[in-house]
Structure 1
């Protein structure tokens, strides 16, 4: 039982990992346990990002995940999933920072930029000398972000952008922001790079405000951004994005990160609940000796194992380029639901102690509430799967979109 608590991999899936993937898993896990976990609760409670961990994250050699070259590691889908899993197992806020920076922002530049643009921005970002953000979501366009209303018009050698972005992770202080806007000339969505100047200032007209009052992922700040007549040079438009199809390319390439993170939160919930059940004594013995608690733990382990199996299969399909959007939606929906239920069960098992940050469960629980929302809510994932089952769309009658897209 102790081995299962310390290493909740009941069907020995990690035993099939390569030596390099095992080393990566252990390196990320050790960093999380020694450098992030001891400090994260304070940052989470203060709603501040732990910038002190950035040098250590850079040294891990994981920044840029699946991108080959430009100082990035070119990780396999399985390896990139392990990074998200192990980070999620420690803290969701730091994992979101990595996902936004490495996958969405750097991934956009790699997939939609030309060679000059890749060399211009990616190496410094791979070293975490510059941090990134991904500005797609708007106040009235989340799941239907294909309908975004932020506009861009070309005036000579300058793009002039107006609009409103919301829920943009790191959007208030990132050095490099990939921002999507609709070209007024042809109505197509294009990608633009907004970057700080040498003195750390954003272009005039870029006005970010941190969103206060969140109950989850409090250690990563999301921004509300008002954009008014912001001017950026023409060379800051990513050369290979001519329509919303470019956005979908990025989202397809980064799809699955939230599912792997959900596995990490589920692993943490199981470990914390199981250890507590062995240590907490009531009525003359550890609560782990009672039938009801054992049934809860067995159900948690069953759910966790199914999540691990689904994500492992997802990585295999991604490597073969056979993962479809409905498949990814089924996995996201399932892992989010199960991980959230596990975190709630763990909180209940710890009773009043589960409400205290020092026991970590409450942080994982509220962070999972966020995971259940970003990259598509459970409802949207279910409708994508439902459309695949029936051939009938339940969400296009009131929208221009045939393919919902969501982002962090």
Structure 2
């Protein structure tokens, strides 16, 4: 029986992809193998995000790649998901950047912005000439965005924003922030360019997770914006929640990439690590671990692909995204931790990725909806009763 060299393909997942989707997957993987994988352990150790890669990601068409027009690639949802998978196979920080840039910042403008806002920002964001972030979460408002305190009031023809946002990926890098605020007309979104008086960012330090990513606090102190800064089509929580649903879709693919990288590492290590006169891959307990993880990984990959095909047909529902995000991130963390045990003491070294992936996935498990919130979304779908209200 031949050795399975790609644990992701135990169930022949690749056979379900189109030639174009496989080409995109291969192109992204090869680029990252050359430009990111050799350096990612150092970026994580130094808590540094490789900003120099941003224009290159733009040239590859990865920024807002599932959006149409304005310099965006307009690919299928499955292709976007596969790109997220390959990005997170290297590090969650890279996938987080692309998710926030495309599915939060750019999508908020593409879906809810004016034509003038789209023309001003989307081509630059797609090319990686500008960076965006998404300001929704606050220090006291995470899973309950409706309780946000940031507010905007009219002053003549302008809007004046006051408040703070927390745990904002790309915040310290962003040229423009989509900021959600409470108004007399409900929750509205505003585009806040860097350099606007009263708008400042402070990066979060001493992180134990997502270290190769910039996480920031946003402060808005009397930030004055023209009326044209408001996203005209978004009113209420439907605006920001639609953006989060886009980002969660990328996550459910990305988690598969992190898990795949861990399992590939464990398989290679188990085949070369010799104990008691033979490779540890020859022992029953190790094979059970590998088999269980391969089953979990491949079912997660099939779930992601199925949801991607639903999205491409315009049939994907929010609760289905919750199923994918909840399951795939949970399984990816379990796989990362189990792979670390196969590596033994070497598993705590930065030379090997499983523990880095496990640490990153702790953040992924929390953002864009915690396990608890997604569980309750599914529970409401099953029972018709909203337990979180």
Instruction: Pick the TM interval, shorter chain.
Output: over 0.9
Kept in 2, the 8 Å contact 1:387–1:393? The answer is yes
Unaligned runs of 5+ in 2: none
Q: Report the 3-state secondary structure (helix = DSSP H, G, I; strand = E; otherwise coil) of the residue aligned with 1:104.
A: helix
Structure 2 residue aligned with 1:44:
44
Structure 2 residue aligned with 1:309:
302
Kept in 2, the 8 Å contact 1:167–1:224? The answer is yes
Structure 2 residue aligned with 1:21:
21
Deviation string, structure 1 residues 354-389 (Cα, Å, up to 9, x no partner): 111111222111111111111111111111111222
Q: Does 1:389 align with 2:387?
A: no
Structure 2 residue aligned with 1:8:
8
Deviation string, structure 1 residues 35-56 (Cα, Å, up to 9, x no partner): 1011111111111111122232
Separation in 2 of the partners of 1:252 and 1:97? Answer: 16
Structure 2 residue aligned with 1:191:
189
Shift in Å, 1:317: 1.5
Separation in 2 of the partners of 1:255 and 1:379? Answer: 15
Q: Does 1:214 align with 2:212?
A: no
Q: Report the 3-state secondary structure (helix = DSSP H, G, I; strand = E; otherwise coil) of the residue aligned with 1:143.
A: coil
Separation in 2 of the partners of 1:204 and 1:263? Answer: 42
Kept in 2, the 8 Å contact 1:5–1:275? The answer is no
Query: Which moved further from structure 2: 290-299 or 362-371?
Result: 362-371
Separation in 2 of the partners of 1:93 and 1:151? Answer: 30
Query: Which moved further from structure 2: 51-60 or 333-342?
Result: 51-60
Separation in 2 of the partners of 1:242 and 1:382? Answer: 26
Out of 364, 378, 393, the position equivalent to 2:357 is 364
Separation in 2 of the partners of 1:147 and 1:322? Answer: 30
Matches within 5 A, 1:137-176: 137-176=137-176
Structure 2 residue aligned with 1:225:
218
Kept in 1, the 8 Å contact 2:203–2:217? The answer is yes
Separation in 2 of the partners of 1:24 and 1:3? Answer: 26
Give TM-score, length-normalised by structure 1. Answer: 0.92
Separation in 2 of the partners of 1:60 and 1:7? Answer: 26
Query: Which moved further from structure 2: 361-370 or 105-114?
Result: 361-370
Deviation string, structure 1 residues 221-253 (Cα, Å, up to 9, x no partner): 111122111112221111211222222332334
Alpha-carbon RMSD:
1.4
Separation in 2 of the partners of 1:156 and 1:75? Answer: 42
Kept in 1, the 8 Å contact 2:7–2:294? The answer is no
Give TM-score, length-normalised by structure 2. Answer: 0.97
Separation in 2 of the partners of 1:287 and 1:80? Answer: 37
Separation in 2 of the partners of 1:223 and 1:3? Answer: 45
Structure 2 residue aligned with 1:114:
114
Matches within 5 A, 1:1-400: 4-6=4-6, 8-183=8-183, 185-186=184-185, 188-196=186-194, 202-396=195-389
Q: Report the 3-state secondary structure (helix = DSSP H, G, I; strand = E; otherwise coil) of the residue aligned with 2:5.
A: helix
Q: Report the 3-state secondary structure (helix = DSSP H, G, I; strand = E; otherwise coil) of the residue aligned with 2:196.
A: coil
Decide whether aligned partners of structure 1 residues 51 and 3 sit closer, same or farther in structure 2, where only a CA change above 3 A counts. Answer: farther
Shift in Å, 1:329: 1.2
Deviation string, structure 1 residues 78-126 (Cα, Å, up to 9, x no partner): 0110011111111110110111011110000000012111111100111
Decide whether aligned partners of structure 1 residues 2 and 267 sit closer, same or farther in structure 2, where only a CA change above 3 A counts. Answer: farther
Unaligned runs of 5+ in 1: 197-201, 397-408
